[in-house]
Structures are given as C-alpha cells and as structure tokens.
Amino acid sequence: MISFASIQLPPPPPLRHHHSTLVSAHLHKTTMYQPDRFRFFPHVSSISSNARPVHSGSSLASVAPLEAILFDIDGTLCDSDPLHFYAFRDMLQEIGFNGGTPITEEFFIKNISGKHNEELREILLPDWEIQRSRKFLEDKEALFRRLASEQLQPMKGLQKLCKWIEDCGLRRAAVTNAPRSNAELLISMLGLSDFFESLVLASECDRVKPFPDPYLKALQELGISHHHAFVFEDSVSGIKAGTGAGMPVVGLGTRNPEQLLTEAGAVFVIEDFDDPKLWTELEELKIKAEVTTTTEL
C-alpha cells in the first residue's frame, strides 16, 4: 500500500472564522503530489468485519462465465484519495477539528475513506446543524473537484483493463458513494463516459454503501445475475457493499492496507490493474468462457 506522504503542501494557513474563506483561497492554488515517490505506509490496525472470511487461494472462478464487472470510482478507477485527504485535512484543521491538529492518514483511512457525506456529517461534525455541516462538505467537494481537475491520476493499468473488458464484450457499471458532480467529472476526465453503461449513485438508493443497495441496483440495471459478476473496490465500506450483494470483490490496495481490505471480505487484493494476480484470474475466466461456448456449440 502506498502512502500520501509525498504530497507537497504549502505552510498551513492561519485559522479563520469562516471555512468558506479557506475554500476560496485553496481554489486558487495548486498542491502537487507525486505518486512515484510515495513511501509504503506503516501497518494500520484492521477494522473488525462480519463479512465472509477470505482464504488463501481465493479466486474469481465462482463467477464463470463472467458477464459483467462493476467498479467503484474514487480510489479505484483513479488515484483520488490523496486529493480527498488533502482537502479534508486542511478544511478540518481550519475549523479547529481535533483541537486544530491536522488529521493523519490513519484517521482518514479508518474514518473517512469510502464513506458517504451524510455518514461523515455524523462522524466529523455531529454537533453542527444539518445545513451547516452539509454546506461544509459541499465546499470540501468543490475543493476536491478543483484539485482533481488539475492533478487526477488514473489507476495504473486502467486503459489496458478497459480494453480487455470491451474485447470480451462484458457489461460494466460504475457504483459510487460520491456526489454526482464528482462522479461525472472523474469519469469524464478518465475518458470513460462512453465506457460505462450505467452510473449508480448511492445517494439515489434507499441505503448507501456499506449496504448492498447500490450494487444490487447496478445488477438490476444491467440485467445481470450476481452469480456472473464481480466488483473492484478500494474501501472497507465498498467491499462490504459488494459482498453483501453476493459478488466477489477484488480489493485495490494502492492506498489502504491489504489486511484491512481482506478482513472486509475481498477475495484478494491487488496493487493496481497491472498486478499479475489480476491478469492470471482474468485469463482463467476467459478460458472458462471459451470452454463453455465450445461445449454449448
């Protein structure tokens, strides 16, 4: 797992009385990070999970013949977690969260990553009025979108994987806890607007991730059984949502600890989409599909 350690930040600004002033200031400056210089992150204590256990040798064989692949967006299609971390860290410090001490990577991974903003209101700003806390998070998303528009990095191997999916004629959907404005921006910037058949927003479902509703809705829209699909996810809440919908989930361990993801229920964890473990599994699924087609003929 790679850390956010090499994000190059300006000196912390002095505290102000209104967080909107901070957002305005940050929207006019750029903070560059360099993924190739990230160090490995130290061990983070795992979060307990009631998800199904993951055993050595777990694979995707159960979904053969494969018909669809479902993707999370943030931290899965693109390396966006450092940008979210930066935005949250600076804005929370501005309002005096945790006594003005900047949040750590550990805190971000355990308490923020992958969660819906309505859940984050309760975690981060439980004493604020609803409208005020929602406005704060809307401003944070605006800052994130500005940073993403300048610095977004696709996950390594994404283009290769998308081509493989298209060549195999597989169905695909994007499923996210993010706001629509974020999701559509990232998909557009990654050149995937015509790739996905469906975009499912958790906020438009009865329940958000970690509940399975968003993934169940995606399967329904595609007309695919959970027996013939799997999911790519990078967070604990997303993995629980995917497994809760009855699908195996491949974890992206670019930012989050492998142990955290496996204990949440990932069948296995990859570093990125170039990981040899993934391509071994995909080629086996392709062979199974070819054998099935031949047998049917």
- Determine the CATH number of domain 68-79+154-296: 3.40.50.1000
**Which pLDDT belongs to residue 287?**
87
**Which pLDDT belongs to residue 296?**
61
Q: Is 81-151 assigned to CATH 1.10.150?
A: yes
Residue 33: left if φ>0, alpha if ψ -120 to 50, beta else—which one? Answer: beta
- In the structure, what pLDDT confidence band is assigned to residue 289 with cuts at 50, 70 and 90? confident
The 10s digit of each residue's pLDDT in 6-60 is 444 333 333 333 444 444 445 444 444 443 333 323 333 332 333 343 333 468 9
CA end-to-end span of the chain = 45
Element (H, E) at 261: helix 258-264
The 10s digit of each residue's pLDDT in 152-190 is 999 999 999 999 999 999 999 999 999 999 999 999 999
| Main-chain phi, psi angles of 11, to 5 degrees | -60, 145
**Which pLDDT belongs to residue 291?**
66
* Percent of the chain's residues with pLDDT above 90: 75
The 10s digit of each residue's pLDDT in 200-257 is 999 999 999 999 999 999 999 999 999 999 999 999 999 999 999 999 999 999 888 9
| pLDDT over threshold 80, residue 4 | no
The 10s digit of each residue's pLDDT in 265-282 is 999 999 999 999 999 999
* Percent of the chain's residues with pLDDT above 70: 78
CA 240 – CA 64 distance, rounded (Å): 22
Domains 68-79+154-296 and 81-151 share a fold: no
**Which pLDDT belongs to residue 218?**
98
CA 72 – CA 261 distance, rounded (Å): 14
CA 234 – CA 252 distance, rounded (Å): 5
**Which pLDDT belongs to residue 1?**
66
- Annotated catalytic residues are 72, 74
**Which pLDDT belongs to residue 190?**
98
| pLDDT over threshold 60, residue 84 | yes
Among all chains, which residue has been given the structure tokens 């049917």?
Answer: 296
Residue extents of the structural domains in the chain: 68-79+154-296, 81-151
Strand partners, 200: 175
- In the structure, what pLDDT confidence band is assigned to residue 297 with cuts at 50, 70 and 90? low
Can you state the angle between helices 19-26 and 81-94, rounded to 10 degrees?
140
**Which pLDDT belongs to residue 3?**
59
**Which pLDDT belongs to residue 294?**
58
**Which pLDDT belongs to residue 288?**
83
**Which pLDDT belongs to residue 176?**
98
**Which pLDDT belongs to residue 145?**
97
**Which pLDDT belongs to residue 148?**
96
CA 24 – CA 89 distance, rounded (Å): 16
Enter the pTM of the model. Answer: 0.80
